[in-house]
Amino acid sequence: MPHVHDELLAVGIETYLERQEHKSMLRFITCGSVDDGKSTLIGRLLYDSKLVFEDHLATLEVDSKKVGTQGGELDFALLVDGLAAEREQGITIDVAYRFFSTERSKFIVADTPGHEQYTRNMVTGASTADLAVVLIDARKGVLTQTRRHSYLVSLLGIRHVVLAVNKIDLVDYSQEVFEQIESDYREFASQIGLNDVTCIPMSALAGDNITEVGSNMPWYQGVPLITHLENVKVDNELQSLPFRMPVQWVNRPDLDFRGFSGQIAGGTVQPGDSVRILPSGRTTTVERIVTYDGDLEEAVAGQSVTITLADEVDVSRGDVIATSLAPPGVADQFEAHIVWMDDQGMLPGRPYLLKIGARTVSATLAQPKYKVNVNTLEHVAARTLELNEIGVCNINLDRPIPFDPYDENRDMGGFILIDRFTNATVAAGLLHFALRRSDNVHWQAIEVDKHAHSLQKGQKPCVVWFTGLSGSGKSTIANIVEQKLLEQGRHTYLLDGDNVRHGLNKDLGFTDADRVENIRRVSEVSGLMVDAGLIVLVSFISPFAAERRMARERVEDGEFIEVYVKTPIEVAEERDPKGLYLKARRGELANFTGIDSPYEAPESPELIVDTTSLPPEAAADTIIGHLRERGFID
């Protein structure tokens, strides 16, 4: 850390600390592979400008001699790599964050090593970066991977790009080579909307143009990398946006104080400003901006504060406080870019949780309009998205949310999707625009409603959902239940594979995505029939817990009775009434539940019917008894 020593000696510690207080901060991401010298560059930045402690340095010296690639010279890549070891330990190699600082600035570098999982990792690292350093090997020029990295940079809304033309020493510091690469890159960058591009020729290994210009490229008129990074200002852009603050927490220490705590996602705010609460749309005035260190006269984007309002308006976690001069939109249907991040592919129609700002809602995705080939940027037709794929989809929420397009404000338009059962973060999304304004959406008032229908039929409608393996006896039992109900004068309808698969759903196969869509339609139909006042019996394998839950949520609480028809697979296979197991075992039937497609047994069904101990007739009686107990029939 030569500069620290010099500065300390020159000015003394007190002055040094004083200067440190005014440091700014920049987050950037480095894009490129080890071959481009990325690890060497990061190692060099850490070494040249931050604290590389002596014991780390000693390790570095030893390792450089042992496994280094620089003939015993310091191999800076070793400061950051250690990846081989990680791979051996089976640890996910994803985003590593490195820190270094100069006299003027602190830097947080998102380092995304490796080629596998590249899209997921780079998108993660890019989501918080203000700037991207795109590395190019001067000997190779603009490659496919350069385009891929740059596309992701532009997708994630990073406005500042440094094109680091590295290994310039290996092309004899040639101005001609550099200028050719610069012009190739600029042409491509402008096509994808990257306009603020700074190109710097450098050698991370030799140290040219990293912290100092040096004498090897007298033709280069610009500043070295570090100086450029120190001069990038990001506060300006965020503060010039309209004021937005997602409310994280309602702060109520006592009855006299009611504040709303959050981090400002855009713009500035002062007491007296007129604000609107979204999605409710109520307007009021900012009274105070409260912090632990006292009230503020003004707060700006990036600060975490607590705001009190002049009026007693209803505000809760997830709401957005915004300037009333330019409030965000509110909607429940969007077009969005989706980056899929989970091993299990996207299932159109399945409800996922969507988290945006401090709000979590339920969301379903339509089949992608297309996916993007990240190497060629071509649009390709797709029915689903797999790990590391990027596509554009329509997305439907269960209630309206306040938002800004991602391009305008990342925190107001970026979201994650969470699987409701594994709780994994399965995707990242970027909202572009609303498909319709939600204030235009209202259900058509139907005077003859469910209540009227059920009064007319003298029964309480419900869905009795039979789930279980093929051959478990679902349909047999459901048929008996329907007969018995009919005998008692009930109005019923039985939905099963026979009457749905051949008509309504004849366009669907047996892939996971098709199974989800199959059940979505059946849920929808059964929901409509419940509105019509019917007792609906549904008999489908319905192997996935998520879809059964979707069906449950389609109707009101208490209207859904899940019956798990439980039969061990050996017994079902033994019965094999339609000869399907035999076919599946012979490999003539793909995606057969229980054989090569999973069955997720219900965790807490209303009823479990074990067909190894209960004959169909008795099973049907159990179900009728349950309906009576619950008051659906008398």
Partner 1 sequence: MTTLTHLQRLEAESIQIFREAFSESERPVMLYSVGKDSTVMLHLAMKAFAPSKLPFPLLHVDTTWKFQAMYEFRDRVVRDNGLELIEYHNPECIEKDINPFDHGTSLHVDLWKTEGLKQAVEKYGFDLGFGGARRDEEKSRAKERVFSLRSAQHRWDPKQQRPELWHLYNARKAPGESVRVFPLSNWTELDIWQYIYSEQIPIVPLYFSAPRPVVKRDGLWIMVDDERMRLEPGEEPEIRNVRFRTLGCYPLTGAIESDATTLPEIIREMLITTTSERMGRTVDHESAGSLEKKKQEGHF
Taking CB under 8 A as the criterion, which residues in 346-385 touch partner 1?
353, 355-356, 358
Of residues 8-27, those binding partner 1 (CB under 8 A): 8, 13-14, 16-17, 20-25
Among 298, 439, 498, 588, binds partner 1 (CB under 8 A): 298
- Taking the complex as a whole, the smallest distance from the CB of residue 23 to partner 1 amounts, in Å, to 5
- Our finding on whether 51 is near partner 1 (CB under 8 A) is yes
Helix (H), strand (E) at residue 570:
helix 569-575
Name residues contacting partner 1, limited to 90-129 (CB under 8 A): 90-99, 101, 105-106, 108, 111, 120, 123-124, 127-128
* Nearer CB in complex with partner 1: 305/536: 305
CA distance 151 to 157: 10
Could you say which of 542, 597, 604, 613 is catalytic? 542
CB of 111 to partner 1, least distance (A): 8
* 306 touching partner 1, by CB under 8 A: yes
Our CB check for partner 1 shows the closer of 59 and 376 to be 59
With CB under 8 A as the contact rule, the residue among 87, 139, 252, 628 that binds partner 1 is 252
513-540 CB burial, b ≥16 within 10 A, e <16: bbbbbbbbbbbebbbebbbbbbbbbbbb
Count CB-CB contacts under 10 A for residue 596. 12
**Is 127 an active-site residue?**
no
Please identify, using beta-carbon distances, which residue of 229 and 356 lies nearer to partner 1.
Answer: 356
Among residues 189 and 238, whose Cβ is nearest to partner 1? 238
Q: Where are the beta strands (DSSP E) in 264-328?
A: 268-269, 274-278, 282-290, 299-300, 304-309, 320-323
30 touches partner 1 (CB under 8 A): no
Query: Considering only CA atoms, which of 204, 41, 11 is closest in space to residue 103?
Result: 11
8 A C-beta contact, residue 370 and residue 382? yes
**Residues 37 and 135 sit within 8 Å (Cβ to Cβ):** yes
State both tokens at 260.
């709303």
* CB burial of residue 243 (10 Å; 0-12, 13-18, 19+): buried
Asked if 385 and 391 touch (Cβ cutoff 8 Å), the reply is yes
Place of tokens 């094109």: 163
Tell the smallest beta-carbon distance from residue 584 to partner 1 (Å).
31
Kindly identify the residues of this chain, within the stretch 419-438, that bind partner 1 according to CB under 8 A: 423-425, 428
The piece of 31-39, 244-252, 487-495, 521-529 that touches partner 1 (CB under 8 A) is: 244-252
82 binds partner 1 (CB under 8 A): yes
Sign of the C-alpha dihedral, residues 550, 556, 557, 558? Answer: negative
At closest approach, how far in Å is the CB of 339 from partner 1? 9
Looking at residues 54 to 73 of the shown chain, list those that interact with partner 1 (rule: CB under 8 A): 54-56
Which residues, 6 or more positions from 18, have their beta carbon under 8 angstroms from its beta carbon? Answer: none
CB 601 within 8 A of CB 564: yes
Residues 385-424 that bind partner 1 (CB under 8 A): 410-411, 414-416, 418, 423-424
Which residue among 2, 10, 89, 176 contacts partner 1 (CB under 8 A)? Answer: 89
Report the catalytic residues: 542
